[in-house]
A and B are shown apart, each in its own frame.
Chain A
Amino acid sequence: MKFEVLKSSVGEWLKGTGPESDIVMSSRVRLARNLAQYPFVGRASEMERREVEEFLRSRLTKTSVGSRLEYMDLGGLEDLDRQFLVERQLISREHADATGARGVAIDSAEQVSLMINEEDHLRIQCLHSGLDLEAVWAQIRSVDEEIEAVVPYAFHQRWGYLTACPTNVGTGIRVSVMLHLPALVITRQIDKVFRSLHKISLAVRGLYGEGSQAFGDFYQISNQITLGRTESELISQVADVVPVLIDYERRARDFLLEETERNVHDQVSRAFGILRTAQTISAEETMQLLSRVRMGVLLGLVDDLHVSDVNKLLVRTQPAHLQKMKGIDLDTKDRNIERARFLRSYFEAGSSGEN
């Protein structure tokens, strides 16, 4: 069973490797594609949606990429399993919460995910650890070309790839980079950074939490425009700004160390202390504290813990992951107890024993 494998592993993007992975968590590209011979998902009848799903699934098996992927029928899964895939970033929340025929095909490294009947008939996603946009683009382009050879994409000479929402038309590309920026948050420079990003039409949103409330200092930067520029130009637009943000964050970390080392060390140690000893803890608090500890590890303030441990904990302490590991459904109160228990035992066992 696929979920048994997923449960005991973590995606490649969480390994904490790859360029600049102290600050850049992951690099992602997704492409929106549609079949020419069907209405878009929102307007398709239930039967048409089933036909789209069957057509794409059977066609994908004819490609070399498709044959390496595991297909899951999302309609046939439990809510908890769909939530698990959302936490793993393999499907979107909308895809999980939708109804009707839909599915996802993923590879064992969890780098490639093909969402069928999301907002568009096909959403191709590719996700790597660290700052690795060029490799992500090369990989997703080859997947897209393979699929395009066996599937009639809806394409218009002037408008490019046709999508259900005009905000995606043209290239259908969304390039995003997930950054961990705790020092910019602590030094209160983060709003200034975001305002300047908005000016060059890049979108910023917190990874966890609702709306603008970001938990744990993780932020996703992505392009907003999809038409009138080439994919390479749109990728560069995001890629060019990342080194600047990395530089700001590093300088802020240096500043914290030089000016307030005792304070920072204290904050990191207290965060680590709570994570190791708490008896009940919410997802939000866990995220905030893990963020602090992650920064501490990178600043050399925490011994015996690797950044990949923290990355894994960020995912494994989320609600669906906890419940899948425990094997039963838990309400919020019991999840908080289970989360604290899991964290205590993880740190007691010594991080080196886990992988």
Chain B
Amino acid sequence: MQCQQCDKQAMFHITELETGDVRELHLCEDHARVYLNQAEADSQENESDGTGGAVGVGQTAKELSEIDQRVCEMCGITFFEFRNQGRLGCPHDYVQFEEELEPLIANIHGELKHTGCRPKRERSAEDQSVLPESTEKLTSVIGMRKEIREAVEDEDYEVAGTLRDDIQKILHQWHAEESKE
């Protein structure tokens, strides 16, 4: 039998008995470990740092596996990898996984909005939902570096060269803005 969350063989067959509901899970070793750790963390309501908790409460295995497979378009980390390690891959993850991170962050901090200091250049920005333009543009460089590596692997040196130029332009633009201040 195949794991419900990936292509590997299911090694763990778990039956969850909830009020009026019997749920069967068939998971490979990795996904079972994540699931069981999750269940343990939930039942203990432990005082750990909270990463890896929160997400998954009240969600079905199918929903969870969908969330787990989401990928950051910049650094390539999957939500599953994040849940396993407790560390995010790049600043863009906070945009990419904003919805998924929300319950987790609420669980850790009890709040969902930064009220402290801001870098001077970001203080005027009004849009609350996205990265400020400069951060957004700069995080795109992370994805472009990944594309360069892929292009080099495919021996597509022309694409790699263009991407390198584009990165330089973005970085130069930031440096130019910085020196204006």
Task: Contacts A42-B87, A155-B118, A167-B50 given; indicate if A37 touches B139 (C-beta within 8 A).
Answer: yes
Q: Mark A161-190, 1 if CB is under 8 A from B, else 0.
A: 110111101110100000000000000000
Name the CB-closest residue of B to A47.
B145
**B135 pairs with A36, CB closer than 8 A:** yes
Nearest CB on B from A133, distance (A): 16
**B110 pairs with A160, CB closer than 8 A:** no
Nearest CB on B from A148, distance (A): 5
Instruction: List chain A residues, Cβ under 8 A from B129.
Output: 157-158
**A166 pairs with B105, CB closer than 8 A:** yes
Give the contact-size bracket for chain B. 35 or more
Q: Does A154 contact B (CB under 8 A)?
A: yes
**B85 pairs with A42, CB closer than 8 A:** yes
Q: Is the interface of B mostly helix, strand, loop or mixed?
A: loop
A162 to B119: give the CA distance in the assembly, Å. Answer: 12
**A149 pairs with B109, CB closer than 8 A:** no
A36 to B141: give the CA distance in the assembly, Å. Answer: 9
**B105 pairs with A169, CB closer than 8 A:** yes
Interface residues of A in 132-162 (CB under 8 A from B): 141, 144-145, 148-150, 152-162
**A155 pairs with B139, CB closer than 8 A:** no
A77 to B117: give the CA distance in the assembly, Å. Answer: 35
Q: Does A249 contact B (CB under 8 A)?
A: no
**A225 pairs with B114, CB closer than 8 A:** no
Task: Contacts A156-B131, A231-B116 given; indicate if A149 touches B181 (C-beta within 8 A).
Answer: yes
A231 to B129: give the CA distance in the assembly, Å. Answer: 22
**A162 pairs with B94, CB closer than 8 A:** yes
Q: Does B57 contact A (CB under 8 A)?
A: no
Q: Does A291 contact B (CB under 8 A)?
A: no
Q: Does B90 contact A (CB under 8 A)?
A: yes
Choose one: B49, B131, B170; the contact of A155 (CB below 8 Å): B131
Name the CB-closest residue of B to A231.
B116
Q: Does B10 contact A (CB under 8 A)?
A: no
Cross-chain pair count, CB within 8 angstroms: 153
Name the CB-closest residue of A to B121.
A148
Q: Mark B102-141, 1 if CB is under 8 A from A, else 0.
A: 0011001111111111111010010111111011001101
A71 to B181: give the CA distance in the assembly, Å. Answer: 27
Q: Mark B71-92, 1 if CB is under 8 A from A, else 0.
A: 0001101000000011111110
Nearest CB on B from A198, distance (A): 8
**A38 pairs with B90, CB closer than 8 A:** yes
**B114 pairs with A227, CB closer than 8 A:** yes
Instruction: List chain B residues, Cβ under 8 A from A42.
Output: 85, 87, 89
Instruction: List chain A residues, Cβ under 8 A from B114.
Output: 156-161, 169-171, 227-228
Task: Contacts A38-B142, A39-B142 given; indicate if A164 touches B116 (C-beta within 8 A).
Answer: no
Q: Does A48 contact B (CB under 8 A)?
A: yes
Q: Does A226 contact B (CB under 8 A)?
A: yes
Interface residues of A in 213-255 (CB under 8 A from B): 225-231, 234
**B130 pairs with A141, CB closer than 8 A:** no
Q: Does B101 contact A (CB under 8 A)?
A: yes
**B135 pairs with A154, CB closer than 8 A:** yes
Nearest CB on A from B110, distance (A): 7
Nearest CB on A from B140, distance (A): 9
A78 to B85: give the CA distance in the assembly, Å. Answer: 29
Which residues of A come within 8 Å of B, CB atoms?
34-40, 42-43, 48, 119, 141, 144-145, 148-150, 152-162, 164-167, 169-171, 173, 198, 225-231, 234
In the assembled complex, 7 residue pairs joining A and B whose CB atoms fall closer than 8 Å, in A order, are A36-B134, A37-B141, A43-B75, A153-B135, A154-B91, A156-B95, A170-B116
